[in-house]
Structure 1
Amino acid sequence: MTHQITRFDATKLAELIRTREISPVEVMQAHLDRIEAIDPTINAIVTIAEGSRDAAKAAEAAVMAGEELGPLHGVPFTVKDSIDTAGVLTQRGSPIFRGRTPDQDATSVARMKKAGGILLAKTNLPEFSYWIESDNLLSGRSNNPWDVTRTPGGSSGGESAAIAAGMSPLGLGTDLAISVRGPAAQTGITSMKATHGRVPMTGIWPRAPRRFWHVGPMARSVRDVALAFSQLAGPDGQDAFATIFGQFDADIGLNPERPLRVGWMVGPGFGPVDPEVAATVKAAAEALKDLGIHVEHVGIPALERDFALDVFNRLHVMEMKPAFREATSGHEAEMYKMSRTMLSLPDTSMSDFIDAEQAAERLRDGYADYFARFDALITHVLPIPAHKHGVEEFAIDGQTVDATYLQGATVPLNVTGLPGLAMRFGTSREGLPINVQVVGAWQAESTILHVASLLESVSPVQGIFPDL
């Protein structure tokens, strides 16, 4: 039964707990056993939450007493180690923060607990959440459950690996340019970066540059992402970016007066894309068309005029470096290679910074024009499937690019604040997951969740797990 429990999604677990078919104690123990068996190979978990078993016993008692139960009652969840957890180590992937134990939960963690979820463990990441691989001097390198010689991505790579391997049904990651959606694509799970400001970043570090950072749910099903997001969304009175949105409502965002209109593209404007990945995006578009949805192959001229990755790089370096210098002052010998690289980057000139600000506005205008005519956009998440550890240069469709180009299709949504969901829809020749990205207009999470659920219903890769 243990192995079966760790393959259920969070929604199913909550249902089985509510109907007393399994107990929260059984569910918690099954995941702890899975971690013990699998994590020595994957290295996704950095800290087991002390008190998780006691919390499961309390959840079981509430069920037996007939108390009112939250939508995630008794369901374990994991959290990236850059997100504060009260009384549980939050060390940010760095020896500089070794032993750091917050007094308060981040808003996102508190909301998961309020919904009945039980904190199971913290997951691995690159130092300070700043790279596309999850490796650091404190807790080492995480491996991909589909092939341990490959990365599960970054910066939420430990989270993606834990969920893909059945060590956790549900979790929280953060996303600056790729970090929730990229790892999901590399491990074949589902994740969503909502509209900027939908979910407060309170209790998460780093937050600079705040206008690009997001926190979002990661899971093995679209319905789990929707359920978690429904609990996470809304202002908290502390994050100023999270003060303008009302509570998420799954019924908002779909226009009953006309059919859905969906476009799909793999470029230009995103950089080179592997033909296998491009074929998967086209297959997802064709699947929607077969369901009766109006689908077109499209282009967004603004993405061709201003390469979003270049815009992002010119903007975020200037805002990130002061926070890094402050955090590492006096601890330079304990820094890992990527933090050193970030601090060594040249400052953007003021004229280039202003030009990049204007380019970001043009990108927003370009997407606004697109979403005046379409309800959703299907793209790739990554231009290639999960890559080998430590690779810094890639040959993609006849072009040689550096590792930052893996963010080509994800970073436009951070620059513009648009919501995007990553979900698996294909498999490479080497047996690795290939995900697609469903993008929506600002605050239209309900629309992309709807489109993603349609894709999930016809997905050729439903219910496939790594052989561990």
Structure 2
Amino acid sequence: MSEDITYSDATGLAARIRNKELSPVEVVQAHLDRIEAVDPEINAIVTLADNALAEARRAEAAIQAGEDVGPLHGVPFTIKDSIDTAGVLTQRGSPIFKGRVPEVDATSVARLKRAGGILLAKTNLPEFSYWIESDNLLTGRSNNPWDLTRTPGGSSGGESAAIAAGMSPLGLGTDLAISVRGPAAQTGIVSLKATHGRVPMTGIYPRAPRRFWHVGPMARSIRDLALAFSQLAGPDGKDAFATSTAAFDAGIGRQPYRQLRVGWLVEPGFGPIDPEVARTVEAAAEALRESGLHVEPVRIPALEKDFALDVFNKLHVMEMKPEFAAVTEGHEDQMYKMSRTMLSLPDTSLGDYIAAEQAAERLRDGFAEYFAKFDALITPVLPLPAHKHGQEEFVINGRTVDATYLQGATVPLNVTGLPGISMRFGTSTEGLPINVQIVGSWLAETTILNVASTLESVSPVRGLRPAL
């Protein structure tokens, strides 16, 4: 019974709670028991919320009293430890912030609570949410539940590992260049990076560079992403980027008024891609074609002209370095690898910065041209499955690259602000998850959720879980 609870999705748990098949207390306790059983090996959880069971008892009383309840009533959720949680430690992966307890929830957390969700725990991350592996001096390294010798990714790696291992049905991560989609791919769960500004970043660190940062849901089903996003989206009057009031409709299960047009792309434009990943992207495209969508291979010339990872690197260093310098001043002995690396990087010249800004505009124009003809784009998420801890160099399809290349297919969406979903559709020869990325035009979350739901319904890997 406990495993039935801990591997249910949030939507299913909410329905069973409303129907009185399960009590919120049962659900929260089952997840606490699961954390106790498996987290010592995984180290995804950094702080438990002390009042989770008390909140569950209140939620149970509301059900028994017949009160109107929210769509996530009684469902536990976890939060990356860069996102403020009132009265619960938020330490940002650094000894510099050890013991920090916010007074106010981040907007995204408050919205999940308002929907009836119960904060269960905070999850691990790299120092300041800044790297592709979740490791820091304060709370240590997180391990991948599919293979403990490998990373669950970063920067939302603790969150991805917790959900994949049944410690949480739903969570929030943040994404600067890869950080909700990459970890989802490394652990085989699903995640959504919405159009920039759809979900406010209020109460989340770091804010710089704000034009690239996103916060988004991570889960085990596409319908959970849709449900969570429906509660998270919309302006809050505090984050000036969060201005869109476009109506949200998950679109799942609805018949589009016309045949959707989907392109798929592996190379060129994203850097080298492992053949197993490439085959998974092609298999996902073929599955959509067999499901009745118009699907064809495509190329996007803008991605070939301006490599998005290079553009991103020239832009964000100039905006992140002052933030890192200010935070670490006087705390140099408490700095970990990535803050030291960031502060050692050379400044981008003004000329190169302006050229990168213009390249970013060309990338946006290129995607606008593509989405004038197509409704969605299928790409890799990562160029290879989850890697061993500490790897800094990879040989991918015969080419040696550094670790930043893992962001090659995800960072274009941060530079342009486009929405994207990461979802599993394959398995490597080593038994590791392989995800694909479904990209949509700006504000087209409804469309990509629809496409993702279709793909999920024919997935050959649906329901697979790590053997823990």
TM-score normalised to structure 1 length: 0.99
Q: 1:178 is aligned with what amino acid?
A: I
Residues 299-346 of structure 1, C-alpha deviations (whole Å, 9 max, x = no match)? 000000000000000000000111111111111110101110011110
Contact 2:184–2:422 (Cα < 8 Å) also in 1: yes
Q: Whole-Å Cα distance in 1 between the matches of residues 209 and 273 of structure 2?
A: 28
Q: Whole-Å Cα distance in 2 between the matches of residues 95 and 78 of structure 1?
A: 21
Contact 1:265–1:378 (Cα < 8 Å) also in 2: yes
Q: CA deviation at 1:245?
A: 3.0
**2:141 equivalent in structure 1:** 141
Q: Match of 1:242, SS?
A: coil
**1:74 equivalent in structure 2:** 74
Q: Whole-Å Cα distance in 2 between the matches of residues 200 and 184 of structure 1?
A: 21
Q: Whole-Å Cα distance in 2 between the matches of residues 17 and 172 of structure 1?
A: 22
1:17 aligns with 2:36: no
Residues 280-300 of structure 1, C-alpha deviations (whole Å, 9 max, x = no match)? 000000000101110000000
Contact 2:425–2:435 (Cα < 8 Å) also in 1: yes
**1:105 equivalent in structure 2:** 105
Q: Whole-Å Cα distance in 1 between the matches of residues 127 and 462 of structure 2?
A: 33
**1:398 equivalent in structure 2:** 398
Contact 1:197–1:245 (Cα < 8 Å) also in 2: no
Q: CA deviation at 1:3?
A: 1.5
Q: CA deviation at 1:246?
A: 2.9
**1:431 equivalent in structure 2:** 431
**1:63 equivalent in structure 2:** 63
Contact 2:83–2:90 (Cα < 8 Å) also in 1: yes
Q: How does 1:335-346 map to 2 (within 5 A)?
A: 335-346=335-346
Contact 2:251–2:450 (Cα < 8 Å) also in 1: no
**2:311 equivalent in structure 1:** 311
Q: Match of 2:454, SS?
A: helix
Q: Whole-Å Cα distance in 2 between the matches of residues 49 and 296 of structure 1?
A: 48
Residues 64-107 of structure 1, C-alpha deviations (whole Å, 9 max, x = no match)? 00000100000000000000000000000000000000000000
Contact 1:152–1:186 (Cα < 8 Å) also in 2: yes
Q: 1:138 is aligned with what amino acid?
A: L
Q: 2:393 is aligned with what amino acid?
A: E
Q: Match of 1:389, SS?
A: coil
Q: Whole-Å Cα distance in 2 between the matches of residues 396 and 179 of structure 1?
A: 21
From the superposition, tell whether residues 247 and 101 of structure 1 become closer, same or farther in structure 2 (CA, over 3 Å): farther
Q: Whole-Å Cα distance in 1 between the matches of residues 414 and 188 of structure 2?
A: 21
Q: CA deviation at 1:244?
A: 3.0
**1:370 equivalent in structure 2:** 370
**2:279 equivalent in structure 1:** 279
Q: Whole-Å Cα distance in 1 between the matches of residues 257 and 293 of structure 2?
A: 14
Q: Whole-Å Cα distance in 2 between the matches of residues 245 and 125 of structure 1?
A: 31
Residues 347-377 of structure 1, C-alpha deviations (whole Å, 9 max, x = no match)? 0000000000000000000000000000000
Q: Whole-Å Cα distance in 1 between the matches of residues 118 and 292 of structure 2?
A: 40
Q: CA deviation at 1:257?
A: 4.5
Q: How does 1:422-461 map to 2 (within 5 A)?
A: 422-461=422-461
**1:347 equivalent in structure 2:** 347
1:158 aligns with 2:158: yes
Contact 2:42–2:145 (Cα < 8 Å) also in 1: yes
1:233 aligns with 2:233: yes
Q: Whole-Å Cα distance in 1 between the matches of residues 236 and 431 of structure 2?
A: 42
Contact 1:233–1:247 (Cα < 8 Å) also in 2: no
Q: CA deviation at 1:256?
A: 4.5
Q: Whole-Å Cα distance in 2 between the matches of residues 250 and 43 of structure 1?
A: 33
Q: Whole-Å Cα distance in 2 between the matches of residues 257 and 26 of structure 1?
A: 43
Q: Whole-Å Cα distance in 2 between the matches of residues 256 and 47 of structure 1?
A: 44
Q: Match of 2:105, SS?
A: coil
Q: Match of 1:312, SS?
A: helix
Q: CA deviation at 1:250?
A: 2.6
Q: Whole-Å Cα distance in 2 between the matches of residues 255 and 416 of structure 1?
A: 29
Q: Match of 1:379, SS?
A: strand
Residues 177-228 of structure 1, C-alpha deviations (whole Å, 9 max, x = no match)? 0000000000000000000000000000001000000000000000001000
**2:215 equivalent in structure 1:** 215
**1:417 equivalent in structure 2:** 417
Q: 2:154 is aligned with what amino acid?
A: G
Q: Match of 2:225, SS?
A: helix
**1:465 equivalent in structure 2:** 465
Q: Whole-Å Cα distance in 2 between the matches of residues 65 and 185 of structure 1?
A: 41
Q: How does 1:376-391 map to 2 (within 5 A)?
A: 376-391=376-391
1:197 aligns with 2:209: no
RMSD: 1.0
Q: Whole-Å Cα distance in 2 between the matches of residues 244 and 375 of structure 1?
A: 20
Contact 2:194–2:420 (Cα < 8 Å) also in 1: yes
Q: Whole-Å Cα distance in 1 between the matches of residues 371 and 55 of structure 2?
A: 45
Q: CA deviation at 1:4?
A: 1.3
From the superposition, tell whether residues 257 and 225 of structure 1 become closer, same or farther in structure 2 (CA, over 3 Å): closer
Q: Match of 1:230, SS?
A: helix
From the superposition, tell whether residues 255 and 413 of structure 1 become closer, same or farther in structure 2 (CA, over 3 Å): farther
Q: CA deviation at 1:249?
A: 2.5
TM-score normalised to structure 2 length: 0.99
Identity %: 79
Q: How does 1:78-93 map to 2 (within 5 A)?
A: 78-93=78-93
Contact 2:426–2:435 (Cα < 8 Å) also in 1: yes
Q: Whole-Å Cα distance in 2 between the matches of residues 198 and 59 of structure 1?
A: 29
Q: CA deviation at 1:389?
A: 0.1
Q: Match of 2:141, SS?
A: coil
Q: 1:206 is aligned with what amino acid?
A: P
Q: Whole-Å Cα distance in 1 between the matches of residues 26 and 96 of structure 2?
A: 37
**1:267 equivalent in structure 2:** 267
Q: Which segment is superposed worse, 241-250 or 386-395?
A: 241-250
Gaps of 5+ in 2: none
Q: 1:159 is aligned with what amino acid?
A: E
Gaps of 5+ in 1: none
Q: CA deviation at 1:464?
A: 0.6
**Runs of 4+ that moved beyond 4 A:** 254-257
Q: 2:90 is aligned with what amino acid?
A: T
From the superposition, tell whether residues 372 and 245 of structure 1 become closer, same or farther in structure 2 (CA, over 3 Å): same
Q: Match of 1:5, SS?
A: helix
From the superposition, tell whether residues 183 and 24 of structure 1 become closer, same or farther in structure 2 (CA, over 3 Å): same
Q: Match of 1:310, SS?
A: helix
Contact 1:52–1:120 (Cα < 8 Å) also in 2: yes
**2:119 equivalent in structure 1:** 119
Contact 2:129–2:154 (Cα < 8 Å) also in 1: yes
Q: Whole-Å Cα distance in 2 between the matches of residues 251 and 397 of structure 1?
A: 37
From the superposition, tell whether residues 185 and 251 of structure 1 become closer, same or farther in structure 2 (CA, over 3 Å): closer
Aligned length in residues = 467
Q: CA deviation at 1:243?
A: 1.5
